[in-house]
Structure formats: structure tokens, C-alpha cells
Amino acid sequence: MKNKFQIGDSLDIMRSLPDAEFDLVITDPPYGTGGRDGATHLKNRNIAGNRMSLDSYIWFVRTYGRELYRITKSNSHCYVFSDWRRYRTVQTAMESVMWEMRSLIVWDKGNGMGEFWRSSHEFICFFTKMYPRKLSHGGCYNVLKYAPVKKKRHPAEKPAQLIEYLIKASTVEGENIIDPFAGSGVVGEVARAMQRKSLCIDIQDAPAENQGAEPVQRL
């Protein structure tokens, strides 16, 4: 199985890819809502792109959503992580470029951070194209309970077990997955273990643990 991690701007890289290449999208893009107060954590390059106005964010989602629609097959599924502040914006922007939102999945993390009512969940927007395949393990419930990663290699790293569940629901062995905002590279790591092919893209290098399948391609 070929699993690649490409370094560079995901929009530029996706524009160079052929039509109808991928069977599944799983991605965790910047939510665009972090650090509006100028918090010092914005100096961390691992969260580049996480401070956008609403107009900028709509442009951003529409742009990557359009490319994802072009490079996926007609029966593909697409999972986009988001939060309570922006999931409706993600839905609006993605549907404006032909994706159809079929479900709002709740990832129950079991704990949370913040003040007042602490957020103990995140959302996963589930989109399909015109002729979507059926979920491979039946009618799945849309609340998924998985503990967050304790020792993170990236600030927004998602648990491998959650990614495995989504991959299993929407692909079979040998199919091709893309993650244009790969972060730690966990999607590619899990895809490789599950005998799927993958292309992971990020503006920065992946942690060393996720470079074992093939050498990192630097663009």
C-alpha cells in the first residue's frame, strides 16, 4: 500500500491531483476561531490558520471543499472535524460547492477545557457526493465516545480509534484516503495499518513516527 505525506500548501497540492482519485476524505482543518484575543499560543506554527474572520473562513472552506469534490469519486464520503462555533459555516460552505451534509456526528471526549460550560465534545460534519455508498458497518449511531489523545504529537491530534471507526465505515481494503490537513499524520498511520492507501498533506512536517511507510515528499 502506498502511503505518502506531502509537505506544502494543501490547496496548491490538491490542484495538481487528477480527478476522481480518492474514495474518502477525513480531515481536521483549522477551526478558524482560536486566539482571537491575540493569545501567545498563536506563535506556535502547529496551529497556523486558526485565526480567521468569518468571510475568510468561508472562502477557505469553499476553496478546499471544491478541490476535494473534484478529486474524489462519485460515491465518496467526507468527514470534516469542526466545533460548535463553526460547524454551520462548514456546512454552508461545503454545500455551496456540491457536497451534501448527511449527518452531524458528535465526538464525545468525556472531558473538556474552558470556562463556564466546558466543551466535552467536538463535531464531525459528514458529507457525501451525489451517489454515496452505504456505510460498511450498517446504520451507525452519530455519537461516538473516544478519549482524547493524552500525549499529543500535534495540538489537534485525534485518537486513532476514532479515525479507525470512520475509515472502517466508509472504505474497504485497498481504497484511497486523503487528508489535506494532516497534522500529526494519524489518518495516514491508521490507513496504513488498515491496508488502505493514503495521501496526507500538511504545511509542516509530520512527527517522525508517521514517516515510516514512505519517505516524506517535500514540495
* CB environment 175-194: b (16+ within 10 A), e (fewer): bbbbbbbbbbbbbbbbbbeb
Q: Alpha-carbon distance 112 to 33, whole Å?
A: 17
pLDDT given at position 189: 96
Residues 6+ apart with CB under 8 A from 55: none
pLDDT given at position 39: 46
pLDDT given at position 212: 46
Q: Which domains does the chain have, with CATH numbers?
A: 3-34+48-218 (3.40.50.150)
Lowest mean pLDDT among 52-66, 131-145, 200-214: 200-214
What is the DSSP code (8-state) at residue 191?
A: H
pLDDT given at position 50: 67
Q: Alpha-carbon distance 184 to 205, whole Å?
A: 8
C-alpha cell at 73: 469519486
pLDDT given at position 208: 54
What is the overall mean pLDDT for the chain? 87
Lowest mean pLDDT among 17-31, 100-114, 164-178: 100-114
Q: Is residue 152 very low, low, confident or very high in pLDDT (cuts 50, 70, 90)?
A: confident
132-144 pLDDT tens trace: 999 998 778 999 9
How far from 99 is each of 61, 96, 108, 126, CA to CA, in Å?
12, 7, 25, 10
